Amino acid sequence: MALLRRPLLLLLLIVTHQFLQFRIAFGSVNEEGQKQEEFYEELLLKPLPDRKLLTHFHFQSSAPPSTSNGRHHHLFPKAISQLVLKFQVKEMELSFTQGRWNYESWGGFDPIPSSNAKPPGVELWAVFDAPQHLIDALWKNLTHTLSGLFCASINFLESSTAYSAPEWSFPPASGKLRYGTLPREAVCTENLTPWLKLLPCRDKAGISMLLDRPSIYRGFYHSQRLHLTSTGSGSEGMDPGIILEQTLTVVLQPDSQRASLAHASEKHIQPSWSLSSIFGKQISGRCVLAETSNVYFLLDRGLVAELEHIHKENEKSEENVLISEKFWNNPSFVLSAKPDRIFIEESSWLSKNASVLYKFEIEKYGESEPFDLGLFWKTPVVWLCQQAPLHANRFLMGSGNERGAIAISLKSTQSSEGFMGSNSNDERCELRVDVFQVVPWYVKVYFHSLQVFVDQQPKAVSDIIEKIHVSPSKDKVSPGVMELVLTLPCSVSSAVLTIEFDKGFLHIDEYPPDANQGFDIPSAIVSFPNFHARMVFLENDSLNKSPLLSKFQEKSPVMSYTEVLLVPLTTPDFSMPYNVITITCTVFALYFGSLLNALRRRVAEEERFLKDKAAKKMDRIPLLLSKLSAKLRGRHLEGPQAPPASSSFINSKSVLKVILIAGLAVYWQYYFS
């Protein structure tokens, strides 16, 4: 009987363990009827015109309002929940970026560049749900917490000289917003590892298995982003709900797998690729804790229009290939896997063409049959990504280490006429542009020197600038902030804003170790409130379960970041203190050494020592002969003669040395003072 009880007991333990795991992972609805925690993982792949590939990882975790006071979570990271509750964060975004988004080649009107293209380094902004007098203290504590959580130097943003409070030009603008950047912060794997630890499956299962560190960091651009939103609980005594969105945007250069292609000599041929060739791994199944696990392949509007044109030339027909079930296997390219669904973007007034989206469900793949999507091009394809209405650049003017000027250039893109429509030539047609610029305190900007040039012609500031908010900088207290609302004619070709500044002086303790490299001015933010980057696809019922596609449907203003400016300031010769210290120490060592040697020397003992030393050097035979001759003469034997130097001479020589060294020391101090 005992032998029969052991297998039954073991089976009962296994069943209980599996049941508890199921309850923890999927717990469905709890006893109070609250919604369960959810996790989604998605990957978007998009070919770019300059032979590169955009990979966009999107992970979303959500925690509903609960009464657990942040003590326990099934899927949601506990560290984020405690951070939201302790610092009363309503909305926050943190990004680590290496490289700069190429708006001219990679586009600037899609939802991805508008929301995920970030400035180099670290960018952090947060909106607090707290009284106004507590926000600065909460911001400082938040920066220290994030610095320890992500192994970064975010704590440098605690200083009042490193962050600002935008009023209305930044998209989530409110009186309780704080914004700060660290343009020179280096991004490496020690920042990515804590970011991956927030995922339920980390990088051990699901789509996150593709996050191979060498593949990511050898890309042309990569930006890891964390965005959280706290939703109101609606009742007292309950913790607010939290939605955590984690994205990783990487631009890679795939290696061509078809070197022997007939069109290999063409410079416009796109390289073929697969997931295994890019990341060195395949997807061997989904994360078991994820609600959905999907991979999307996106063809933007310009590429679809070019493919349709190539298809019409080859087939000599007017049939729309977008509605064909074999569009994934057409004369221009071939996908290695058949998509589960194909979505077509709804046409909009901005463009006559529509994007095409292929959906691949990872649920039906596993270790025996891993998912390895590949794209093989057949013909050269040339297209352009959709641009923002104006392309923004920023540069420095002037020379020297005393004065200079900052210039922001706005140039119309080739597609600007399509944005403006038929009213682009109408005098009443206006284009609104918002500019947000933060300048460090040691760059002393003269805001009254602001000048505006439209189509290379000077214009009155009041005619172009509809609204302006300026917060002058305070030395070693706060940076300068400038917020502008520009109203430009729709037919504008170019516009330039210039503003002059003086370069300040820093204390020697305020210089960084690499001061000769220069000092950074953070990127300016240029947004177009009247234009929204969104993509609405058909089959809306199936898109409700996809956070990524739901994000594409949201109306977000088109936004772009300018370059980070490098300003050279007057820097002291940091080697001069070292040289002065070493030379001074050498002179003092010689002075005190000679002085002590002269004061402690005993002349009589030295003379006696010299006599004894001279006596020892004499040979024995001459000594005996001298003694014998002395006895024969009846005289006493005298000792060896002392050296010609007398004691008075030695004393005078020592005194001269001391006087000479003292004179040199006095002259040295007088010369350098």
36 or 135: whose pLDDT is higher? 135
pLDDT classification of 400: cutoffs 50, 70, 90: confident
Q: What is the pLDDT of residue 645?
A: 46
User: What value does the mean pLDDT take over residues 82-100?
Assistant: 94
Token representation of residue 112: 């991805």
User: What value does the mean pLDDT take over residues 142-161?
Assistant: 95
Q: What is the pLDDT of residue 193?
A: 94
pLDDT in tens, 320-336: 554 455 566 677 888 99
Contacts of 222 (CB under 8 A, 6+ apart): 97, 98, 99, 187, 216, 248, 249, 250, 251
Rounded to the nearest 10 degrees, the angle between the axes of helix 603-617 and helix 647-672 is 120
pLDDT classification of 629: cutoffs 50, 70, 90: confident
Q: What is the pLDDT of residue 128?
A: 94
The mean pLDDT of the chain is 83
| Closest alpha carbon to 246 in 224, 262, 231 | 224
User: Alpha carbon of 162 to those of 13, 396, 440, 441, 580: distances in Å?
Assistant: 56, 21, 8, 9, 34
Q: Which residue intervals of 178-247 are DSSP H helices?
A: 189-197, 213-217
Separation CA 4–CA 7 (nearest Å): 6
Token representation of residue 254: 């795939």
pLDDT classification of 431: cutoffs 50, 70, 90: very high
User: What value does the mean pLDDT take over residues 345-368?
Assistant: 82
User: Alpha carbon of 27 to those of 18, 64, 189: distances in Å?
Assistant: 12, 13, 34
pLDDT classification of 146: cutoffs 50, 70, 90: very high
pLDDT classification of 265: cutoffs 50, 70, 90: very low
Separation CA 196–CA 77 (nearest Å): 11
pLDDT in tens, 570-597: 888 888 888 888 999 998 898 888 888 8
Separation CA 640–CA 629 (nearest Å): 16
pLDDT in tens, 287-330: 999 999 999 999 998 898 888 888 777 765 445 554 455 566 67
User: Alpha carbon of 282 to those of 256, 285, 297: distances in Å?
Assistant: 18, 9, 16
Q: What is the pLDDT of residue 261?
A: 42
Q: What is the pLDDT of residue 1?
A: 45
Separation CA 339–CA 509 (nearest Å): 60
Contacts of 55 (CB under 8 A, 6+ apart): 43, 44, 45, 249, 250, 251, 252, 278
Q: What is the pLDDT of residue 353?
A: 76
pLDDT in tens, 412-423: 986 545 555 545
Question: Are the CB atoms for 413 and 388 separated by under 8 Å?
Answer: yes
In the block, tokens 């300059």 appear at 50
pLDDT classification of 32: cutoffs 50, 70, 90: very low
Q: What is the pLDDT of residue 245?
A: 97
User: What value does the mean pLDDT take over residues 332-346?
Assistant: 88
List 58's β-bridge partners, or say none.
42, 247
Provide, for the chain, the percentages of residues in helix, strand and coil under a 3-state DSSP scheme, each rounded to the nearest 5: 35, 30, 35
User: Which H or E run includes 135?
Assistant: helix 135-150
274 or 11: whose pLDDT is higher? 274
Separation CA 330–CA 132 (nearest Å): 59
Contacts of 304 (CB under 8 A, 6+ apart): 322, 353, 354, 355, 356
pLDDT classification of 480: cutoffs 50, 70, 90: very high
Which of 142-151, 254-263, 549-558 reaches the highest mean pLDDT? 142-151
Q: Which residue intervals of 400-465 are DSSP H helices?
A: 416-420, 461-464
pLDDT classification of 671: cutoffs 50, 70, 90: confident
Lowest average pLDDT, out of 89-98, 230-239, 507-516, 606-615, goes to 230-239
Which of 64-68, 340-344, 626-630 reaches the highest mean pLDDT? 340-344
Residue 647 pLDDT exceeds 50: no
User: What value does the mean pLDDT take over residues 186-201?
Assistant: 94
Residue 101 pLDDT exceeds 90: yes
Separation CA 593–CA 591 (nearest Å): 5
408 or 607: whose pLDDT is higher? 408
Read off the amino acid at residue 501. F
Contacts of 515 (CB under 8 A, 6+ apart): 569, 571, 574
pTM score over 0.95? no
Q: Which residue intervals of 532-646 are DSSP H helices?
A: 540-543, 547-553, 576-600, 603-617, 620-633
User: What value does the mean pLDDT take over residues 17-28?
Assistant: 46
User: Alpha carbon of 80 to those of 42, 64, 150, 540: distances in Å?
Assistant: 21, 14, 12, 31
Contacts of 4 (CB under 8 A, 6+ apart): none
Q: What is the pLDDT of residue 309?
A: 82
Residue 199 pLDDT exceeds 90: yes
Q: What is the pLDDT of residue 402?
A: 87
507 or 40: whose pLDDT is higher? 40
Residue 360 pLDDT exceeds 60: yes
- The percent of residues above 90 in pLDDT, for the chain, comes to 51
User: Alpha carbon of 253 to those of 52, 262, 341, 446, 559: distances in Å?
Assistant: 5, 21, 27, 44, 25
Read off the amino acid at residue 238. M
pLDDT classification of 617: cutoffs 50, 70, 90: low
Q: What is the pLDDT of residue 139?
A: 96
User: What value does the mean pLDDT take over residues 405-414?
Assistant: 92
In the block, tokens 């300016």 appear at 524
Q: Which CATH architecture describes the domain 390-415+428-506+514-524+562-567?
A: Sandwich (2.60)
Residue 17 pLDDT exceeds 60: no
pLDDT in tens, 485-506: 999 998 899 999 999 999 998 9
